[in-house]
Amino acid sequence: MKVFVVNCGSSSIKYQLFDMADESVLAKGLLERLGTSSALLRHSGNGKGREPVECERAVQAADHTAGLKLILDVLVDPRSGVLESIDQIDGVGHRVVHGGEGVTRSSRIDGELLKVIEANCDLAPLHNPANLAGIRAAMGAVPRAVHAAVFDTAFLATLPPHAYRYAVPNAWYAQHHVRRYGFHGTSHRYVTLTAAGLLGKPADQVHLITVHLGNGCSMTAVAGGKAVDHSMGMTPLEGLVMGTRSGDIDPAIVFQMHAAGLAVQEIDRVLNKESGLLGLSELSNDMRDLLRAVEVGDRKAALAVDVFVYRIAKYIGAYYTILPGLDAVVLTGGIGENSPPIRHRICRWLTPLGAVADEARNNQVVGGRAGPITAERSALAVWVVPTNEELMIARDTAAIVFGRGT
C-alpha cells in the first residue's frame, strides 16, 4: 500500500510518500513560496530502486492545485520518479490543524467532513483554509485514492471540561467556542504510542508527560494513554515559551499595550512573531544560536534560555500532581531530540521529583535516537523519543483505507 501524506500551508506543500508494507519513505519534499515568482521545489526519492534522487528547482505554481500537479509529476517521472502511475497511491493523508469539538479521531474525508473543516476556519484562520485548499486540490488530482483527514486537535479531544474550560462567562463558550483545544496532538499521540512500546506497557495503561520542544512548544499530560491536560489553549499562543511566541502572559498586558498606542493587530503580531526566545534574547529564535551566545557571556541569551527551561519545569511539576502515576517524562521535537544542554537543564530542575541525570546517556541520545537520559537509579525517568507526525498520519490513513478506523 502506498500512502501520500500532504501538509498544506498557505504558501507551501510539504509531502511524503510511504510504502506501508515496511513504512519506508519512498519520496519526500517541500514546495515553498507557492503563488510567487520564486516558488521552489525540493524533492528527494529512491528513483524506482535506483540511486537516490535529490533535486531542487525553481517552478511556476500559482496555487495548491498547480503545486500538487508538479509534485505528482515528479513522483511519476520516468527517470527519477518512484511510481509508475498516480493510481498506485491508495490513500492520501492530510494534516488538518483544527477539527473543533466535533471531531475526535482521524476520519475519511467526505462532503460532511469538509463542512466541519470549513466551519472551524475561524478558529484556525492561518491553517484550516490552506488545509482545505490542499484537500480539494488532492481529491481532484488523485480521485481514486481514499482521502483521510488527521487532526492536530483530535488526540486532545479527551481533555475533561475542568481542563479545557476557561473561567469566563458561559456565553463565551456557548456562542464563541472559547475553550482550550490544544495543538501538536498528532506528535503527542505518536510519542505516547511509541513511548508505551519502549517502556513495555500497553498504550491504554501508560502515564506520561510528553514535551514537544521546537520553534513551537507544547506539553500534554497523558493518563492511561489519553490526554487529560495540555499547555496550548484556544490558539497555539498559550503555554510554554516558544521561538517567537510568548506563551503564558497576564491577559491585562494586552490592554496596557493597547492603551500605550499599539493596535490590536500589532499586539497580535508581536506576541506571535516577535516574542518568546527572540523577544527575550533580541538575538534569535533558534536555541542553537542562543546556547552559543550563552557560552560567550550573552546575558540576554542566558535569560531567554533560563525562562524557557523554567516554564517547562513548572508545567511538568503541575502535571505531575494531576496524574495517577508517571512512567516517564518524554522529550521530543527539534530541541527535545537534539539539545543535550537544554535536556540537562530540565533534568536539574526535576531533581525534587527524583530525576537523576546521566550525562553519558544524555549526550548519546541525539540524531533520531530514542532512549532514557536519566540514570538507572533515577526515581523519575526522562526519555527522548523522536516524533514522526507524517508516519502517524500515514498509519491512520492506511487504517482508514482498510476500513479499520483509527
CATH of the domain at 231: 3.30.420.40
Look at residue 253 and give its three-state secondary structure.
helix
Clarify whether residues 238 and 378 are in a common domain. yes
Clarify whether residues 147 and 208 are in a common domain. no
Question: Grid coordinates representing 48?
Answer: 524506482
Clarify whether residues 119 and 241 are in a common domain. no
Instruction: Provide the pLDDT for residue 52.
Output: 78
184 assigned to some structural domain: no
Q: What DSSP state is assigned to residue 189?
A: H
**CA 337/CA 214 separation, integer angstroms:** 9
Among residues 26, 35, 29, which one has the least CA distance to residue 6?
29
Question: What does the pLDDT look like over 63-113, one tens digit per residue?
Answer: 999 999 999 999 999 887 899 999 999 999 999 999 999 889 999 999 999
Confidence check: pLDDT of 215 > 70: yes
Instruction: Provide the pLDDT for residue 397.
Output: 97
Clarify whether residues 103 and 245 are in a common domain. no
127 assigned to some structural domain: yes
325 assigned to some structural domain: yes
User: Where residue 49 falls among pLDDT bands split at 50, 70, 90?
Assistant: low
What's the whole-number mean pLDDT along residues 120-125?
86
Clarify whether residues 145 and 217 are in a common domain. no
189 assigned to some structural domain: no
Chain position carrying cell 530502486: 49
Query: Which contiguous run of DSSP H or E holds residue 12?
Result: strand 12-19
193 assigned to some structural domain: no
Helices (H), 260-322: 264-273, 276-281, 287-295, 299-322
Clarify whether residues 121 and 206 are in a common domain. no
Q: Could you tell me the sign of the dihedral formed by the alpha carbons of 283, 284, 285, 288, in that order?
A: negative
Query: Which contiguous run of DSSP H or E holds residue 134?
Result: helix 128-141
Look at residue 43 and give its three-state secondary structure.
strand
Clarify whether residues 258 and 375 are in a common domain. yes
> Total domain count for the chain?
2
Regarding pTM above 0.75, the answer is yes
CA 50 centroid distance within chain: 33
**CA 68/CA 152 separation, integer angstroms:** 22
Instruction: Provide the pLDDT for residue 55.
Output: 85
Clarify whether residues 87 and 218 are in a common domain. no
User: Where residue 143 falls among pLDDT bands split at 50, 70, 90?
Assistant: very high
CA distances from 29 to 141, 154, 292, 399 (A): 18, 26, 30, 24
Looking at every residue in the chain, the average pLDDT score rounds to 95
What's the whole-number mean pLDDT along residues 246-251?
97
Question: Grid coordinates representing 346?
Answer: 530540565
Clarify whether residues 147 and 13 are in a common domain. yes
Out of 117, 151, 185, a domain closes at: 151
Clarify whether residues 140 and 274 are in a common domain. no
Instruction: Provide the pLDDT for residue 405.
Output: 62
Q: What DSSP state is assigned to residue 357?
A: B
> Burial, 69: exposed, middle or buried (Cβ in 10 Å; 0-12, 13-18, 19+)?
middle
Residues annotated catalytic, as ranges: 152
Query: Which contiguous run of DSSP H or E holds residue 139?
Result: helix 128-141
Q: Which long-range contacts (CB under 8 A, 24 or more apart) does 261-265 make?
A: none
Clarify whether residues 365 and 293 are in a common domain. yes
Chain position carrying cell 510511504: 18
218 assigned to some structural domain: yes
Instruction: Provide the pLDDT for residue 378.
Output: 98
User: Where residue 127 falls among pLDDT bands split at 50, 70, 90?
Assistant: confident
Q: Which residues pair with 8 in a beta bridge?
A: 13
Domain housing 145: 2-151
User: Where residue 265 falls among pLDDT bands split at 50, 70, 90?
Assistant: very high
253 assigned to some structural domain: yes
Clarify whether residues 129 and 245 are in a common domain. no
178 assigned to some structural domain: no
